[in-house]
Structure 1
Amino acid sequence: MNGNAFWNSIYKWEEDFSREWEPWDESEELRNRASEAGRLVKTDPALALQKFSELADEGSAFAMRWAGTLHLGNYGVEENLELAEDFFRRGLCAGSWISTISYASLLFKRGAHDLWPSTLADGIENEYIPAFFWHGWNSYRLHPSKRTAVEGRESMLRAADAGHPGAKAMLARWTARGRFGLRKIPEGIRMLRAAFDDTISSNTTG
């Protein structure tokens, strides 16, 4: 299993989880145009971005999210993290929870460590499960210590109990490394094996 498989399992799970959280109150016309733009992402990403940008200006939260995603540079569009962050911020304000996660990730990436925690805290307050994982993971990346693992354990447990594959893997990793005591290391190793099997299954069935 490589890193891409692991992160793909996370993004797939969060996408599926978030379907009922995303705002779908746009007009039928906007939804149809957004679907049309979505079909262009793989064949003509530049045109897809143009259409998503136009729809974003008309208030489509879905388009704001996708315009931000395309500006990340993963679909053949030149990377522009400043524009990506702006679109995700707009998507967040329009009610897109996936945009909230993406916005917080870009804030973390550019070192805005005074801003991303409060962005994710809003998701935690509203029981948006991905926010629990990203808050714990970002905190640990910033300060990878036993203390941070212990402090983030409850958030990771909340996400893991809901089925989040990243939270399951991080809890397993921390436990196997003795972050919660040496006696729990064997349990952590078993958890790692289970997390590995879940990731393989997710990428096979996906």
Structure 2
Amino acid sequence: MADIIYTYKDSVYANITNKCNCRCTFCIRFVKDGVGDADTLWHQVNPSKEEVIDAIKNFDFTGYKELVFCGYGEPTCQLDILLDAANYARKEKGLKIRLNTNGQGSAENGRDIVPELSKVIDSVSVSLNAPSKKEYEEVTRPILSNGFENMVEFTKRCREVIGDVRWSIVDVLPQEEKDRCIALSKEHNIPLRIRKFSSN
């Protein structure tokens, strides 16, 4: 049975779905079954809302102040579960909530979901992955059309409504692409985090 709650380094994560609307070339789930203390993050059946909330309820968060929604799938593909579970973790566990996302959530759900997220999410990290539409399509391989535009618009909306938002890229990008990602982040006034790539 796949883990719903797992830890990696100094953080606790909620793995609520394996559904994803991107097929990123560097995605760790194509390399291994689990990360951190999780043996596997592959659900045989995606968990129900009740199962996710029970997992949060039964986990000992002593020493942790934040829960991150991030696993082997895109959390906004299970928006109702994300919203209810985040609300529970916030109210019942007193946790800060971070969403790690590919930024396709509004396109996936057919509406602007940022106002709903703002009620339960404290911070958002969006995978930028590449500095232009062409490069983004090549590396992220989104299922939805206009993936790059969707991601940029979603991030800008999060900046407007939620406030604490950042883009992230991995450090394996060529320096020239990293420089253009930095320029894009400055253009839109969105902080950029350059993550060290790890398959561990």
Q: Give the TM-score, by structure 2 length.
A: 0.33
Greater relative contact order structure (CA < 8 Å, 6+ sep): 2
* TM-score scaled by length of structure 1: 0.32
